[in-house]
Chain A
Amino acid sequence: GAVVSQHPSRVICKSGTSVKIECRSLDFQATTMFWYRQFPKKSLMLMATSNEGSKATYEQGVEKDKFLINHASLTLSTLTVTSAHPEDSSFYICSARGTAVRVREKLFFGSGTQLSVL
């Protein structure tokens, strides 16, 4: 199946620092990538949708200036949490969708990043 690589898997940082999370599609071109966050024992919450070469579309209530998303190539999207605070501590997950038939409808997930802000 299609592989999506997400790094880092775990980040512990001080309040006020910025954290960058990378998401790469390894064996297919991901025209669309999705960023989710998940709190313990809660379901996935879509944060934003990014299409290669264009600005991300953010869900209601998600601050675009705080969660910067860049999708500069067909295989890489990044999420930067700027000036992180303890309330930003969460599990962040990226997923990707390609255009080829075998990957068009299904979402393939990265392994997730557990962010802990002290």
Chain B
Amino acid sequence: QKEVEQNSGPLSVPEGAIASLNCTYSDRGSQSFFWYRQYSGKSPELIMSIYSNGDKEDGRFTAQLNKASQYVSLLIRDSQPSDSATYLCADSDSNYQLIWGAGTKLIIKP
């Protein structure tokens, strides 16, 4: 059974520091990976997608993919209190069905 695993946290990071969120996946055939952010009581919103090995940067966010290790990460630089949320990792199978991780709760402390 395909799985995506994340540490549920909470992960506490001081404001201004780098927050590092990690995710592993079981399906070696997965090609697409996504990070979603979900605030309490709200729907998930897509932050980053990554398809190739290496880093992908978008503003303060960097997604990293290592297919050999089946590992995806999200780095948030200069963390802000508004970044406090649950971050969901997901990969996509050949039918574009998303397999979700359980999410990591991130707390940015002022």
Interface residues on chain B, size class: 10 to 19
Q: Which residues of A contact B43 (CB under 8 A)?
A: 6, 93, 109-112
> Given A44-B88, A105-B32, does the pair A114, B49 have CB atoms closer than 8 Å?
no
User: Which chain B residues border A43 with CB–CB below 8 Å?
Assistant: 88, 100-103
- The tally of residues in A whose CB lies under 8 Å from a CB in B reads 20
With A43-B100, A43-B102, A97-B96 given, is the CB distance from A109 to B44 under 8 Å? yes
A77-111 interface with B by 8 A CB criterion: 91, 93, 97, 104-111
Within the complex, the shortest CB–CB distance from B63 to chain A, in Å, comes to 14
Counting CB contacts under 8 A, is B41 at the interface? yes
**CB-CB nearest in chain A for B42:** A112
* B49 and A106 form a contact (CB under 8 A): yes
Query: B92 at the A/B interface (Cβ < 8 Å)?
Result: yes
Complex: A100 Cα to B28 Cα, angstroms: 26
Given A91-B41, A93-B43, residue A106 in contact with residue B34 (CB < 8 A): yes
Contact A105 B100 (CB under 8 A): no
Q: Known contacts being A43-B101, A43-B103, A44-B88, is A105 close to B96, with CB within 8 Å?
A: yes
- Smallest distance from the beta carbon of B34 to chain A beta carbons, Å? 7
- Provide a sorted-by-A list of 15 A–B residue pairs whose CB atoms are within 8 angstroms: A6-B43, A43-B101, A43-B103, A44-B44, A46-B100, A49-B97, A91-B41, A93-B43, A105-B49, A105-B96, A107-B98, A108-B46, A110-B43, A111-B42, A114-B41
